[in-house]
Structure formats: C-alpha cells, structure tokens
Amino acid sequence: MKIDISDQTKKRFEFDTKLGDDDLPVSGELSGTPGPDGLTIAGTLRRLPEQKYELVFHLGGTLIYPCSRCLDPVETQAEYDFEDIVESGAETEFDLLPFIEDCLFINEPSKILCREDCRGLCQHCGANLNYETCSCDAEAEIDPRMEALKSLL
C-alpha cells in the first residue's frame, strides 16, 4: 500500500491496487472486512508545495459487516470516494493505508441488518432467533407487571 515518491521531479502518481483482508491492520476501529475478492483502490496522488499532497481515490468492492442484531456476516457493496489534501509522514514513500482506513471508517454504515425483520439474538442464552427458538422465550416476554413483582421477591 506504499507509493514510491522518491523521484522529486515527478508530480503525479497513479495507483490501482487491491486490498485484501490481510492488508488491513486490526486497529479495532473498523467493523467491516473486505470480501473474498478484496477491495479495489484506484486514484492519483499529486505533489503540492510544502510536502503536501492531493489524494483522490475511489474504493470499490465487497465489505462484510456483522449484522447489528444477530452478528451474522452481511455482504454490502462499497463504492466510496476519497478526496483530501494530506501530508506524507515520509519523503520517499507515501503510505495509502491510513487514508484507506479513514475512508472506510467515515463511510461505515451505522446500522447493518441481514434482513429487515432480523430477530436478533436471545438476550439470555445468545441463540440466533432467526434459526432457532430457545426455551427462554417465555421468560423474555414476561409481563412488565410481573417483572416489577419479581424484583420485589
């Protein structure tokens, strides 16, 4: 994910690269992971004065997120654009990865559902209620008045 920028006479760098699951550092901030075909990142880096760069790229591909309710993997199609004036930490190479992470982070959906009516996980036993019914059902649907009574016991 690094671009060789050591040639000071060069003003413009083009890139077209693939990002796989292994390339993403486990920063713990991203909940999505690239699908089996990876992500495509294509764009240009333009040298500006004072070690600044104009970075423009498009990120496309499949991202897999855990369902917000049942945690099952959900495939989503990502088509994100990134454009910013950035600085490079090093003078000889430009690391794309932090900006790819930024792009993914900014565009991360706040809620992902495997289906509209996902029934989620049982709060008591963790069973996936899309696939099974568990014996805590009755407990979970307890009458609120009963709940109040129970807390008195």
Which stretches of the chain bind Zn ion, using CB under 5 A? Answer: 67, 69-70, 114, 118, 122, 124-125, 127, 134, 136
Based on CB atoms, which residue is closest to Zn ion, 111 or 145? 111
Four-point Cα dihedral 17, 112, 30, 127, nearest 10: -120
Supply the DSSP string of 74-113, one letter for each residue.
EEEEEEEEEEEEEE-S-SSEEE-HHHHHHHHHHH--S---
Shortest separation between residue 73's beta carbon and Zn ion, angstroms:
10
Shortest separation between residue 110's beta carbon and Zn ion, angstroms:
15
Based on CB atoms, which residue is closest to Zn ion, 17 or 68? 68
Shortest separation between residue 116's beta carbon and Zn ion, angstroms:
10
Tracing tokens 């003078």 back to the chain, one arrives at 91
Shortest separation between residue 111's beta carbon and Zn ion, angstroms:
11
Based on CB atoms, which residue is closest to Zn ion, 103 or 118? 118
Dist. CA 96–CA 79, nearest whole Å: 17
Based on CB atoms, which residue is closest to Zn ion, 52 or 119? 119
Tracing tokens 């060789």 back to the chain, one arrives at 4
